[in-house]
Structures are given as structure tokens and as C-alpha cells.
């Protein structure tokens, strides 16, 4: 019987994507290793797009409070039957590490300084003074503590799923032969974002250059109002799907896109992992820490003296010019250089 390992997933889409090289390393070192993932339901679709993953378990409802302790115990007993030899803790959705302990997994690997540190028995030290990029941070768990990474890491890669791509086009009545260009405005309030008027101007430039393309706004429910305003400002018939798709459907749209424009978001990392032509717009964040790792990705970043990062909802200087001065024409030219259409339009995989 081949060995098996359980990966306890992080909570965010981008972090899930950046964990994929760890799984690739584990499989490279043990080709017969079975890798299962315990994931929050919301991001399970990301792990299902990883060829290294055999099965994804739902981590929802395993909270560590007394009222939910029984759920963690039941999950642990269910996992015990899988006879995992190792568990890799990339985060601890409430109770997941407790479930791993109840499952009798002998080697439990993760970073110190986390809430679950007492449940680990192979502990890595976090790089607090000079934090590693997230991909390297996770990949270190494949090695012994304090052992350096061996050579260059593979970039995150996800596998396209033709059936899901066709299904999402059918569900949203998207012409199966039309190229898709995805815009991902972020309506979050944790940091300044690229201005809505800039997205609207970019949409007009794209529509003039590629009138055959379907321009689609993708994001969560919190991005809906921003996407609606962008549509109105553009004066175009943009498809506003922000808040209308599941994560799996958003993945299927991004995976077949002929071009993607986003900020520093989970969708940015998805586009890179699928190798889609893209432009990532950075303002107060630092693209050297968690860049889109793809040869078809371009980064637009002014690297102002006050960054990185500030991560404030409003600019301390009164105007977030780290973003507003990145012109739509600059983003358009950057995206144009990495976009390639087939003669009859980019088509989904068959």
C-alpha cells in the first residue's frame, strides 16, 4: 500500500494556489504518494484543479469550541481509516489540527507561532525578519526544519477542466467561440485599489482593439457595487458576474481567459497558475513577496517611497497615487504584449 499524506489547507484562494508547489515537491520525491487535502469548502475547487490531489475533504464545521468538539472528533475518526503518515499544516481551520491528532497521524508538520503549534511534532521556524515569498514559505515544509530549499521551485500550476469551462459558458450564455477577457476589480477596503474610472477606460481600449471579445467582470459579492459602477462608467455592455459565480465557476472563467487584469488578489494567482496572459496591478503591496509566477504575467507597480506595504484603506498622503498614476493605456499596452488570439478567436479547451 502506498504512503499517504494530508494537507491542511490555508483559508484564501491565493494562498491555496501558492501551496501547489509544495504538493508537486512531495509527489516528485515520492511518486506513489497519495495526497489528500482538508480544505474550507469555499476554496476546495482550487485543490480539485491540482493534479497531485486525490481527494478533498470539507473542513467546515470542525470548530474547536466545546459545542463543535464532537465534529472534530468524528472527522478525526473518519480520517483515521485513511492511515495517513504525515499531515502538513498550512493553516488551521478551527479544529482541523485536532482532527489530525485524533486521526493518529504520526508526523504533524507546520510552522511554530501558530495557534496549533502544540499539536505539531515537526516544527519549522518562521522567517520573521526576512519573510520568504509565500510559495517558498510553504515549500520549506517538504524538507527538514532548517534545511535550505534545494534549487529553484516550480511555479504554481493548475490543470484546466474542459467540462467545467464549457459548463460555465453555457450557464452564463457566453458565446463558445468568443475570446474572454476577465477584469477583476477588488471592492475590498483593506488597501487602496486601482480606480474604477481606470477600469472603465481600460474596458473601452480593449473593446476597441478586440471587438469580438466578451469582457467579463469577475469577483465576489463585495465587488458587485464596484463592478456595477465600472460598467456604468464604461458605457459598454460588460458582463458583470461579480457575486454571481461560485469559486469553481470563477476558476473556470479565468482558466480559459485570453487576458486577465487584476490587483493583488486570489484571482491573480489563479490566472498565473493557468498560464493566462495577464497584468497584475500593485499599489501598496509588494510584488516581490507574492508575484504572479508565470512567464505570461506582467506586473505594473510604481514602487513609491512610501511602499511597500501600507495596506491602509485610505492613503496617508491624501491620494493613493501608487495606483492612480498607473494609467489605463499602460495596462492596455502591457496586456496586449502577452495576449495571443487564434485566428478565429481564442477557444476553450475541448
170 and 137 in one domain?
A: no
Query: Which strands, in side-by-side order, build the sheet including 214-217?
Result: 239-240, 214-217, 180-184, 259-262, 278-281, 297-300
Domain identity same for 172 and 318: yes
* Residue 240 placed within a domain: yes
Per the domain annotation, does 153 fall within a domain?
A: no
Domain enclosing residue 312, as ranges: 162-338
148 in a structural domain: no
Q: Does residue 89 share a domain with residue 201?
A: no
Average pLDDT, the chain: 87
- Phi-psi map region of 14: left, alpha, beta (phi>0 left; psi -120 to 50 alpha): alpha
Residue 129 vs residues 22, 90, 291: alpha-carbon distances, Å: 23, 20, 20
- pLDDT tens track for 173-209: 999 999 999 999 986 655 678 999 999 999 999 999 9
Share of the chain above pLDDT 70, in %: 84
Tens digits of residue pLDDT in 275-315: 999 999 998 778 888 899 999 999 999 876 665 556 555 56
In a domain? residue 156 = no
Q: 89: which strand partners?
A: 8
Q: Treating both helix axes as pointing N-terminal to C-terminal, what angle do 162-171 and 247-255 enclose, rounded to 10 degrees?
A: 110
| CATH number, domain containing residue 318 | 3.40.50.2000
Same domain (yes/no): 167, 314 = yes
pTM exceeds cut of 0.85: yes
Q: What is d(CA 49, CA 134) in angstroms, rounded to the nearest whole number?
A: 19
pLDDT tens digits for 123-137?
Answer: 988 766 556 788 999
Is the domain of 129 the same as that of 197? no
| Residue 283 resides in a domain | yes
263-279 residue pLDDT tens: 999 999 999 999 999 99
- What's the rounded Cα separation, in Å, for the pair 304 and 120? 41
Between the two ends of the chain, the Cα-to-Cα distance in Å is: 35
Is pLDDT at 343 greater than 50 in this prediction?
Answer: no
pLDDT at residue number 348: 42
Higher per-residue pLDDT: 91 or 66: 91
202 plus 131 within the same structural domain: no
Check residue 318 and give its pLDDT.
52
d(CA 125, CA 204): 49
268 and 239 housed in the same domain:
yes
Angle at 160 between CA 262 and CA 346, to 5 degrees: 70
155 domain-assigned:
no
Task: Report yes or no on 151 lying in a domain.
Answer: no
- At residue 241, does pLDDT exceed 70? yes
Number of structural domains the chain divides into: 2
- Regarding whether 168 and 61 lie in a shared domain, the answer is no
Residues facing residue 6 across a β-bridge: 36, 87
State the Cα–Cα distance between residues 114 and 117, nearest whole angstrom.
5
- Whether the pLDDT of residue 341 is over 60: the answer is no
Residue 132 and residue 272 in one domain: no
Q: Check whether residue 182 and residue 52 sit in a common domain.
A: no
Kindly tell me if the per-residue pLDDT of 95 is higher than 80.
Answer: no
Residue 87: phi and psi, rounded to 5, are -125, 130
Confidence (pLDDT) at 188: 60
Provide DSSP, 53-120: EEEEEE-TT--SSGGGHHHHHHHHHHHHTT--SEEEES---TTHHHHHHHTT-SEEEEETTSTTGGG-
The answer to whether residues 170 and 309 belong to one domain is yes
Q: Is residue 112 part of a domain?
A: yes
Say whether both 101 and 229 belong to one domain. no
Last residue of a domain, one of 79, 112, 142: 142
> Which of 142, 176, 193 corresponds to the end of one domain?
142
Tell whether the model's pLDDT for residue 37 goes beyond 60: yes
CB-count exposure of residue 281 (10 Å: 0-12, 13-18, 19+): buried
Cα–Cα–Cα angle for 77, 80, 84, rounded to 5 degrees: 150
Amino acid at each position: 500500500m502506498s504512503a499517504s499524506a494530508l494537507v491542511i489547507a490555508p483559508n484564501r484562494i491565493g494562498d491555496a494556489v501558492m501551496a501547489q508547489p509544495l504538493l508537486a515537491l512531495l509527489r516528485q520525491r515520492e511518486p506513489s504518494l497519495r495526497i489528500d487535502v482538508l480544505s474550507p469548502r469555499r476554496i476546495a475547487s482550487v485543490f480539485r484543479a491540482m493534479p497531485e490531489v486525490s481527494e478533498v475533504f470539507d473542513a467546515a464545521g470542525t470548530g474547536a469550541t466545546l459545542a463543535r468538539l464532537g465534529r472534530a472528533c468524528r472527522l478525526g475518526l473518519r480520517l483515521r481509516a485513511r492511515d495517513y503518515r504525515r499531515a502538513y499544516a498550512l493553516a488551521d481551520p478551527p479544529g482541523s489540527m485536532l482532527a489530525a491528532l485524533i486521526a493518529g497521524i504520526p508526523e504533524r508538520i507546520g510552522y511554530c507561532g501558530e495557534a496549533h503549534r502544540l499539536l505539531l511534532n515537526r516544527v519549522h521556524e518562521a522567517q520573521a525578519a526576512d519573510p520568504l515569498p509565500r510559495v517558498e514559505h510553504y515549500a520549506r515544509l517538504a524538507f527538514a526544519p532548517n534545511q535550505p530549499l534545494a534549487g529553484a521551485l516550480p511555479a504554481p500550476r493548475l490543470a484546466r477542466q474542459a467540462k467545467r469551462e464549457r459548463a460555465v459558458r453555457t450557464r452564463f450564455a457566453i458565446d463558445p467561440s468568443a475570446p474572454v477577457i476577465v477584469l477583476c476589480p477588488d471592492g475590498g477596503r483593506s488597501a487602496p485599489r486601482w480606480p474604477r474610472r481606470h477600469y472603465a477606460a481600460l474596458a473601452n481600449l480593449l473593446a476597441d482593439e478586440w471587438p469580438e471579445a466578451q469582457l467579463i467582470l469577475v469577483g465576489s459579492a463585495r465587488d458587485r457595487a464596484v463592478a456595477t459602477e465600472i460598467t456604468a462608467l464604461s458605457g459598454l455592455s460588460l458582463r458583470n458576474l461579480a457575486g454571481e459565480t461560485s469559486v469553481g465557476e470563477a476558476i473556470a472563467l479565468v482558466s480559459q481567459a485570453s487576458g486577465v487584469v487584476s490587483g493583488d488578489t486570489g484571482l491573480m494567482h489563479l490566472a498565473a497558475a493557468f498560464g493566462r496572459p495577464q497584468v497584475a496591478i500593485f499599489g501598496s503591496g509588494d510584488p516581490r513577496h507574492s508575484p504572479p509566477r508565470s512567464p505570461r504575467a506582467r506586473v505594473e507597480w510604481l514602487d513609491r517611497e512610501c511602499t511597500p506595504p501600507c495596506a491602509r484603506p485610505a492613503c496617508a498622503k491624501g491620494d493613493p497615487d501608487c495606483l492612480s498614476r498607473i494609467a489605463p493605456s499602460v495596462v492596455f499596452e502591457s496586456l496586449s504584449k502577452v495576449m495571443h488570439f487564434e485566428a478565429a478567436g481564442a477557444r476553450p479547451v475541448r
